Amino acid sequence: MAQGVFAITEQRDGELRKVSFEAVSEGRRVADGLGADLTAVVLGSGIEGLAEELKKYGPDKILVADDAALADYTTDAYTNVLAELIQSSDPAVIITGASAQGKDLSGRLAARLDAGLAMDCVEIKLDNGNLTYTRPMFGGKIVAKVEIEGSPQIVAIRPNVMDIVENSKEPAIEKPAVQVGDLKTKIIEMKMETGDKPELTEADIIVSGGRGTGGDYAAVEELANELGAAVGASRSAVDEGWRPHSDQVGQTGKTVSPNLYVACGISGAIQHLAGMSTSKYIVAINKDEEAPIFSKADFGIAGDLFEVLPAIIAEVKKLK
Amino acid sequence: MDIVVLVKQVPDTESLVQIADDGVSIKTQDIKWIMNPYDELAVEEALQIKEAQGGTVTILTLGPEKAVETIRTALAMGADQGIHICDPAAEGSDALAAAKLLAAALKDLPYDLIIAGHRAVDEDNYQVAAAVAEFMGIPQISMVNKVVVSDGKITCHRTIEGGTVVVENSLPALFTTQRGLNEPRYASLPGIMKAKKKPVDVKTVADLGVDGGSVGAANRKVKIKAFNLPPERQAVRMIQGEAAADKAAELLKILHEEIKII
């Protein structure tokens, strides 16, 4: 009988990513609810130190899969190693982040294990030992409640949504021998943007600009800089070539859940609203008082963003 | 180079989605159906590779009868032939079962490369392509915004948070598309006329040799219990003030002192 919870963590360049702490914290909560043990799994090369960091979030056991071939994520090596660890431990529930890595990995893993997968979940509910997963569909226009039959159940959690809870324990740390298997993928190069701008899906604050910017993002960027925020864009702004595709928020772009989303000159097309409606607080700035964006916002300013944004920037500077 | 493109017909992203009376599906009348936007990128990329290197482009879809419209759209863009898995027994399949059906259809097809959208914008599962690659025993490369195919190898730029990873695989392989890969062409009028004569092969679950007890709505591993609309926000609080500076000061007061978010 399958039992126990696995939380699969994610590291890049030997540093754990934030979604890892979310996965382990959520794993602890689920394991407690099921009366089961939580195992955190970390994969990489020379990453023993990461186990120390994971202790804080309360796993009963930490599996450290350490191999040169696991230094950077590849679908084949990670799936091979995890499938073996999962088959030998037989957990009932597997939690991972719905990050770029987690989405790629969990789809492959689910097929290998013939397991049901709930992707991009924003909530896990426990009711008498039954788990129900809440996941947005249709780009957030629908919120579905799903259950998974059989085991293991794989759940990929949306980054930036679940709480990180410290819950220090003294877990058993194991370093199992791993077989990375026959590897087909060769990593040629990692091209990472420099600077410490947060990534859109992980940012606490997003300042987003749309058609109303007319392509002039100076004020949007300055406000984002002042707030340590990421810059987002509407589809029309991306289609105009004003911003790269990677900045696009919406049903055909990224779905984001920051604490604060500041929409500047964005009218609020239905497919844009779908992508940001799970933000905790939404501020809309738009010339048109009738713009649909105001129907989804908590706070609104009707006005010209080229007057309003500099005034906001000045106020933010006063706080420092 | 023989390329198979996996496509899906989905509700237009500009459509308002409403919940059907059963509470676990959406109302399908009044919806405009389109090719999944990420699949358009997949069709375009396949056509560009074919134009440069020769070969064939086959469109493979799973869906009800009207999903053939999406195959016809791809054929009108320039693809050569279509395969339509169309069977009431397959309707409502979850991602894993859909992938099993697609993989079963692929077993009878020659291919060097499979291209798919990274997700369908209806169920947002991000799963079918990865599962198809697993069932075919080939590598997958996800969310690709640049690709080079040559000498039996494929080099992909895979988008991740804050950058891209360039990876190389040998063919056959599967990759999924991300915005930025290309600008999908529109079907031309001659293209649309030609598409009407291109072959579309219809397959049932039995034709594919797949056990009917493992697919369809009744055999989902991921059971949909309820569809809800996202919670409504409280009515917007419009910030009043004479000048922009007054409004800005008021907003900052709220964000800093009231909800303490900055």
Mind giving me the DSSP string for B172-199? SEEEEE-TTS--PPPPPHHHHHHHTTS-
Query: CB–CB of A66/A175 below 8 Å?
Result: yes
CA distance A269 to chain B (A): 8
Number of domains, chain B: 2
Mean pLDDT lowest for which of A193-197, B68-72, B182-186? A193-197
Sketch out chain A's domains with CATH numbers. Answer: 5-174 (3.40.50.620), 200-318 (3.40.50.1220)
Which domain covers residue B244, as residue numbers? 232-262
Chain B interface test: which of A246, A257, A276 (most B C-beta within 10 Å):
A246
Q: Do A316 and B262 touch (CB under 8 A)?
A: yes
- The answer to whether the CB atoms of A271 and B159 lie below 8 A apart is no
A148 neighbourhood in chain B, CB within 8 Å:
221-223
**Continuous segment of H or E residues that includes residue B9:** strand B9-11
Q: Are residues B15 and B114 in the same domain?
A: yes
Backbone φ and ψ of B175, nearest 5°:
-130, 155
Of B178, B245, B261, the CB nearest to A281: B261
Contact B215, B86 (CB under 8 A): no
Task: Tell me what pLDDT residue B64 has.
Answer: 97
pLDDT tens-digit map of B216-226: 999 999 999 99
User: Could you tell me which chain A residue has the CA closest to the CA of B123?
Assistant: A137
Q: Are residues B35 and B119 in the same domain?
A: yes
Chain-chain contact of B238 with A294 (C-beta, under 8 angstroms):
yes
Instruction: Give a yes or no: residue B224 inside a domain.
Output: no
The CA-atom distances, in angstroms, between B140 and each of A152, A192, B122 are: 23, 21, 22
Chain B nearest CA to A4, separation (Å): 20
Please tell me the distance from the alpha carbon of residue B1 to that of residue B6, in angstroms, as a whole number: 16
pLDDT of residue B15: 87
Residues B73 and B124 in one domain: yes
Closest CA–CA distance from residue B255 to any residue of chain A (Å): 9
Considering the domain boundaries, does residue B25 fall inside one? yes
Q: What's the distance, Cα to Cα, between the start and end of chain A in Å?
A: 57
Residue B225 lies in a domain: no
Task: Flag whether residue A161 sits within 8 Å of chain B, measured between CB atoms.
Answer: no
Which one of B93, B136, B161 makes the best mutation probe of the A interface by having the most chain A beta carbons within 10 Å?
B161
| B241 domain-assigned | yes
Q: Are residues B145 and B261 in the same domain?
A: no
Write the burial class of residue B186 (CB in 10 Å: 0-12 exposed, 13-18 middle, 19+ buried): exposed
B261 and B202 part of one domain: no
User: Averaged over B209-214, what is the pLDDT?
Assistant: 96
- pLDDT, tens digit, for every residue of B117-160? 999 999 999 999 999 999 999 999 999 999 999 999 999 999 99
Query: What digits encode the pLDDT tens for the residues B74-95?
Result: 999 999 999 999 999 999 999 9
pLDDT the model gives residue A128: 86
Which of these, A59, A106, A62, A102, lies nearest to A83 by C-alpha position? A106
pLDDT at residue A200, as a whole number: 92
Residues B240, B212, single domain; the answer is: no
Residue A110 C-alpha, separation from nearest chain B C-alpha, in angstroms: 7
B101 with B130, same domain?
yes
Grouping H, G, I as helix, E, B as strand and the rest as coil, residue B35 is: strand
- Distance between CA atoms of residues B103 and B46, nearest Å: 19
**B59 is a domain residue:** yes
Task: Count CB pairs under 8 A between chains A and B.
Answer: 263
Residue B160: partners with Cβ closer than 8 Å, 6 or more residues away = A99, A100, A101, B143
Q: Do B133 and A108 touch (CB under 8 A)?
A: yes
Query: Rounded CA gap, B199 and B10, in Å?
Result: 22
User: Are B17 and A103 within 8 A, CB to CB?
Assistant: no
| pLDDT beneath 50, residues of chain A | none
Residue window 91-130, chain A: list those with CB within 8 Å of chain B: 98-101, 103-104, 106-108, 110-112, 114-120
- Omega before residue A159 within 30° of 0, cis: no
Instruction: Please indicate, yes or no, whether residues B242 and B202 belong to a single structural domain of this protein.
Output: no
pLDDT value for A105: 98
Same domain assignment for residues B253 and B185: no
- Rounded-to-integer distance, Cα A279 and Cα A259, Å: 6
Tell me the three state secondary structure of residue B254. helix
Average pLDDT of the residues in B27-53: 97
Spell out which residues of chain A touch residue B130, defining contact as CB-CB under 8 Å: 75, 104, 107-108, 110-111
B147 occurs within a structural domain: yes
Token digits for B236? 């917007």
Give me the residue from B11, B128, B228 closest to A143, CB to CB: B228
Contact criterion met (CB < 8 Å) for A104 and B249: no
What are the chain A neighbours of B11 within 8 Å (beta carbons)? Answer: 138
Residue B108 DSSP one-character state: T
Q: Which DSSP string do the residues of A81-136 spell out, in sequence order?
A: HHHHHHHHH--SEEEEE-SHHHHHHHHHHHHHHT-EEEEEESEEEEETTEEEEEEE
User: Taking CA atoms, what residue in B is nearest to A228?
Assistant: B262
Residue B57 lies in a domain: yes
Q: What is the pLDDT of residue A320?
A: 83
Decide if B132 is inside a domain: yes
Comparing CA positions, the residue from A228, A230, A221 lying closest to residue B262 is A228
Check if A296 contacts B (Cβ < 8 Å): yes
Do B241 and B212 lie in one domain? The reply is no
> Alpha-carbon distance A62 to A50, whole Å?
10
Q: How far is A319 from chain B (nearest CA, A)?
A: 9
| Judgement on whether residues B94 and B194 belong to the same structural domain of the protein | yes
Collapsing DSSP to helix, strand or coil, B4 comes out as strand
Give me the CATH number covering residue B45. Answer: 3.40.50.620
Contact B172, B137 (CB under 8 A): no
pLDDT at A195: 74
Task: Indicate whether this complex's ipTM tops 0.90.
Answer: yes
Q: Within an 8 Å CB–CB cutoff, is residue A82 touching chain B?
A: no
In a shared domain, residues B249 and B147:
no
Categorize the per-residue pLDDT at B110 as very low, low, confident or very high, splitting at 50, 70 and 90. very high
**Which one of A120, A252, A314 has the shortest CB-CB distance to B179?**
A252
B162 to each of A139, A237, A278, how far by Cα in Å?
Answer: 22, 20, 22
CA distance A33 to chain B (A): 21
